[in-house]
Amino acid sequence: MIKLTGISKSFGKQQVLKGIDLQVNKGEVVVILGPSGSGKTTLLRCINYLERPNEGHIAIGDFNVDCKHAHKRDIYELRQRSAMVFQHYNLFRHKTALENVMEGLVIVQKLPKEEARRRSIEVLEKVGLGGKLDAYPSQLSGGQQQRVGIARALALNPEVILFDEPTSALDPELVGEVLAVIRKIAAEGITMIVVTHEMGFARDVASHVVFMDEGVIVEEGTPKEIFRMPKEERTKQFLKRIM
Ligand code: ADP
């Protein structure tokens, strides 16, 4: 249902993605692992077109974009089909939790306000924040702010949610509550691509694990294949360092 073909991206002379091919089936949770600087975040940002790939094709559902010739309309369509959860939450500071979630529904999806409000309350309740609708980000813990970020993505009802290191800015005691919410929505069959260093989460929740290094996919497989029987030397070295 999501198919990336030959995705390449350079920043100046540095080629950060070197022809990435990746397929994600509906309902799968794909975890992307790899050393810092290997291109994981850039790959996620390319899917949402926060970065423009220099080359390649992105297909989400029945919509297919040739990145070399993408127009505004194509980018809009890709963004309708995917939603991003950011490392630093990226909430509007002057808006409440409810207003943060409603924003995309009203402004981008053009839903009537009452419907947007209903849907936003529903997803905020789902992430355990039904009691914090009127709180501003500064009145919420990091874990709660990230749960607002997840609710905002969920509310858009995208075909895929892209998580960019969703727990790496959190104090250790707050990581669990955010992972629990991600687990819960994964269990509902929502397709996800997750960049994370949380190996326990990857092992338990991923249907598929991708190991990236230096802008290429070195190896991919089930969690069991990657964690227990990695084939490539670079994967083995990485896992040895991190586990
Ligand atoms: P990872 O997520 O695996 O840590 P990134 O995708 O963040 O890797 O970064 C890969 C490389 O691309 C790094 O060398 C980084 O410095 C570079 N990079 C990322 N974004 C930009 C940017 N906007 N401008 C220039 N270089 C960038």
40 lines ligand 1 (CB under 6 A): yes
Q: What is the pLDDT of residue 242?
A: 87
Tell me how far apart the alpha carbons of residues 69 and 63 are, in angstroms, rounded to a whole number. Answer: 14
Please provide the DSSP assignment of 66-92 as one string.
EGGG--HHHHHHHHHHEEEE-TT----
Burial of 18 (0-12, 13-18, 19+ CB in 10 A): middle
Out of 42, 49, 163, give the residue to mutate to test ligand 1, the one with the largest number of ligand atoms within 8 Å of its CB: 42
Q: Please, what is the average pLDDT of the chain?
A: 96
191 lines ligand 1 (CB under 6 A): no
215 lines ligand 1 (CB under 6 A): no
In this structure, the residue with its CA closest to atom 15 of ligand 1 is: 37
Tell me how far apart the alpha carbons of residues 33 and 202 are, in angstroms, rounded to a whole number. Answer: 9
39 lines ligand 1 (CB under 6 A): yes
What the chain holds in terms of domains, given with CATH numbers, is 2-242 (3.40.50.300)
Q: What is the pLDDT of residue 48?
A: 93
Length of the chain (residues): 243
The Å distance, Cα 32 to ligand 1 centre, comes to 15
Out of 11, 17, 88, 242, give the residue to mutate to test ligand 1, the one with the largest number of ligand atoms within 8 Å of its CB: 11
- Is the pTM here over 0.80, yes or no? yes
13 lines ligand 1 (CB under 6 A): no
Axis-axis angle for helices 97-107, 142-155 (nearest 10): 20
The number of beta carbons lying within 10 Å of the beta carbon of residue 17 is: 27
**Which tokens in the block code for residue 119?**
């849907």
> Which atom of ligand 1 lies closest to the CA of 36?
4
33 lines ligand 1 (CB under 6 A): no
Burial of 87 (0-12, 13-18, 19+ CB in 10 A): middle
The Å distance, Cα 37 to ligand 1 centre, comes to 6
38 lines ligand 1 (CB under 6 A): yes
Of 203, 211, 84, 201, the C-alpha closest to 152 is 84
Render pLDDT for 3-23 as a digit per residue (tens, 0 to 9).
999 999 999 999 999 999 999
> Which atom of ligand 1 lies closest to the CA of 12?
25
Q: What is the pLDDT of residue 243?
A: 78
Render pLDDT for 173-199 as a digit per residue (tens, 0 to 9).
999 999 999 999 999 999 999 999 999
Helices (H), the chain: 40-47, 72-81, 97-107, 113-126, 142-155, 172-187, 199-205, 223-228, 233-242
The Å distance, Cα 11 to ligand 1 centre, comes to 8
> Which atom of ligand 1 lies closest to the CA of 42?
6
Tell me how far apart the alpha carbons of residues 97 and 88 are, in angstroms, rounded to a whole number. Answer: 15
CA dihedral 154→67→212→209, nearest 10 degrees, is: 40
Tell me how far apart the alpha carbons of residues 143 and 176 are, in angstroms, rounded to a whole number. Answer: 9
Residues of the chain falling short of pLDDT 70:
none
Tell me how far apart the alpha carbons of residues 133 and 62 are, in angstroms, rounded to a whole number. Answer: 35
How far from the centroid of its chain's Cα atoms is residue 143's Cα? 16
